[in-house]
């Protein structure tokens, strides 16, 4: 009796981690699965594999990828429950992935339409559950699409639709599947995924609890997470060259490194010190000549951040783009990457003397010490901006400033303190002092730089970590604790951040009409 060759009947199906060589195939799969939505980019998928390779899974059938899923680990307590897909995924790059986090967050599941009766999605969900159990994570959290909602949007609200799906009166291919796989509905978020028209941009926040989770002491009783901030109250005085300026800046960065600081903060437009040797009497022309030092400035602080292992808030600098002048604050990370924030509100003085133009984008920056924001001077006086960045996850707001009199300084200070209280964040202000006798409109300055906290028992009684002596050249160093901040938000005497009446009011951000171009110095996600 001869043996039958069974190999010809075999169907080769294999679940494995995604590799770099799979990227093109994954992109094509996303185009097929979601034809009306923006597909993954190569840069995003490379970033997934780089930051969390274990969380990137695919199903291969007959040597063809027919399904995939992507995930990252987060401390979900650090995010607003009313988050967007862009916020939780760092715009799809997952650079915010945290191996020490408690929660696995699923950001995408795809199954080829021709293979949707083979329980491919179930295989991927089970693999995620096994991963969560293996890594001892508390839960899996997802923001689930409701792709059939557009068919019922005129007759019912998202909540009514979800309840009908839960009652099995309506079938939704995603929500029904998730409920069948043990996920619990937590809430409904709007504006979750901006190009998900079928779901009308709504998403269900759902959670699968890992019943095998073994609490770890470090996760339940988190130790303090101090961040050391070094603030420079910078003296504006006569110099003779860019070398003099660089020498003075390196001096401060060197000291901050000796104190093992995580951030050093310089003031707004402190680079106008270069005007002391630029021979141009017209203020507007002098500023345009100042912009010629932009590349020297960026190279200097990039080198200093890497050399001294400290994140630098490089004050701000006037930059020319397409013939216009902008006031831009740069973040120089100690890993060598660079980001920037345009000043959004221009003072009458800046407009009249220098013709400065406003930016049009509010940004949040990921750092090795969590999410931060930079609001330049006048921007701190508009409470909407601080609320927006706090909602997007910023725990520290840095505000470089430059004021010429005490009244102007107090506007910045009082507003910075108010922003710290009302948003339960840390705020840091750094200003210039001294004078530039040869520079028009920069002839005198007034400042008292400081580090502010919310107002509660866990913080200094006056809400001040440290502050400079007014109007002299000096520095301050202070530790701010992000874990104390988290606890204050969740269990403080008052909880301004969590107690917002979003049923009555909310702040929305309009889409920018003219987003500023990349100037070549920003972080490239392909790198």
> What are the catalytic residues?
268, 343, 377
Beta bridge partners of 325: 320, 356
The DSSP H or E segment spanning 43 is helix 42-51
Kindly provide the residue ranges of all beta strands, DSSP E only, lying in 439-473, ordered along the sequence.
450-452, 464-467
366 touches 333 (CB < 8 A): no
Q: How many CB atoms lie within 10 A of CB 490?
A: 12
Classify 238 in phi/psi space as left (phi over 0), alpha (psi -120 to 50) or beta: beta
Classify 136 in phi/psi space as left (phi over 0), alpha (psi -120 to 50) or beta: left
Give all strands of the β-sheet with 103-111 in edge-to-edge order. 13-17, 57-61, 64-74, 103-111, 139-145, 203-209, 184-189
Q: Is 195 helix (H, G, I), strand (E, B) or coil?
A: coil
Buried b (16+ CB within 10 A) or exposed e, 433-445: bbbbeebbbbeeb
**How many helices and strands, by DSSP H and E, does the chain display?**
14, 21
> Using CA of residue 353, residue 354, residue 355, residue 359, what is the dihedral sign?
negative
């Amino acid at each position: 009796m001869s043996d039958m060759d069974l190999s010809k009947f075999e169907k080769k199906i294999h679940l494995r981690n995604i590799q770099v060589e799979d990227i093109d195939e994954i992109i094509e799969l996303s185009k097929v699965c979601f034809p009306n939505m923006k597909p993954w980019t190569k840069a995003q998928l490379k970033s997934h594999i780089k930051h969390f390779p274990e969380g990137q899974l695919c199903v291969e059938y007959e040597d063809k990828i027919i399904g995939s899923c992507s995930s990252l680990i987060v401390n979900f307590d650090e995010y607003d429950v009313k988050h967007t897909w862009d916020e939780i995924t760092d715009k799809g790059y997952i650079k915010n992935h945290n191996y020490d986090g408690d929660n696995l967050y699923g950001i995408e599941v795809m199954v080829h339409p021709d293979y949707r009766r083979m329980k491919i999605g179930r295989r991927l969900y089970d693999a995620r559950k096994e991963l969560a159990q293996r890594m001892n994570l508390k839960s899996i959290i997802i923001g689930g699409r409701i792709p059939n909602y557009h068919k019922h949007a005129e007759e019912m609200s998202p909540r009514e639709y979800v309840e009908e799906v839960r009652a099995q009166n309506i079938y939704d291919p995603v929500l029904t599947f998730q409920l069948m796989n043990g996920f619990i509905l937590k809430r409904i978020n709007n504006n979750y995924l901006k190009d998900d028209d079928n779901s009308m941009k709504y998403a269900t926040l759902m959670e699968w609890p890992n019943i095998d989770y073994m609490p770890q002491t470090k996760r339940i009783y988190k130790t303090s997470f101090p961040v050391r901030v070094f603030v420079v109250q910078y003296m504006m005085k006569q110099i003779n060259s860019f070398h003099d300026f660089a020498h003075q800046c390196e001096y401060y960065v060197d000291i901050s490194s000796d104190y093992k600081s995580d951030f050093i903060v310089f003031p707004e437009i402190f680079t106008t010190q270069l005007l002391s040797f630029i021979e141009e009497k017209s203020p507007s022309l002098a500023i345009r000549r100042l912009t010629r030092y932009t590349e020297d400035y960026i190279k200097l602080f990039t080198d200093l951040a890497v050399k001294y292992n400290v994140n630098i808030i490089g004050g701000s600098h006037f930059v020319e783009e397409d013939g216009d002048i902008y006031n831009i604050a740069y973040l120089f990370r100690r890993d060598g990457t660079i980001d920037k924030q345009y000043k959004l509100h221009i003072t009458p003085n800046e407009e009249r003397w220098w013709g400065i133009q406003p930016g049009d984008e509010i940004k949040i920056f990921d750092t090795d010490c969590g999410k931060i924001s930079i609001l330049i001077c006048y921007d701190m006086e508009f409470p909407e901006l601080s609320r927006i960045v706090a909602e997007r996850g910023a725990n520290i707001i840095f505000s470089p400033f430059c004021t010429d009199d005490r009244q102007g300084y107090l506007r910045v200070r009082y507003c910075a303190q108010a922003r710290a209280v009302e948003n339960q964040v840390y705020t840091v202000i750094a200003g210039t002092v001294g004078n530039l006798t040869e520079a028009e409109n920069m002839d005198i300055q007034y400042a008292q730089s400081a580090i502010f906290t919310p107002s509660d028992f866990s913080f200094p009684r006056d809400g001040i970590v440290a502050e400079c002596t007014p109007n002299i050249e000096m520095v301050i160093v202070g530790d701010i604790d992000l874990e104390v901040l988290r606890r204050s938000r969740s269990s403080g005497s008052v909880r301004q951040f969590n107690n917002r009446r979003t049923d009555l009011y909310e702040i929305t951000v309009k889409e920018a009409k003219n987003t500023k171009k990349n100037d070549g110095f920003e972080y490239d996600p392909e790198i």
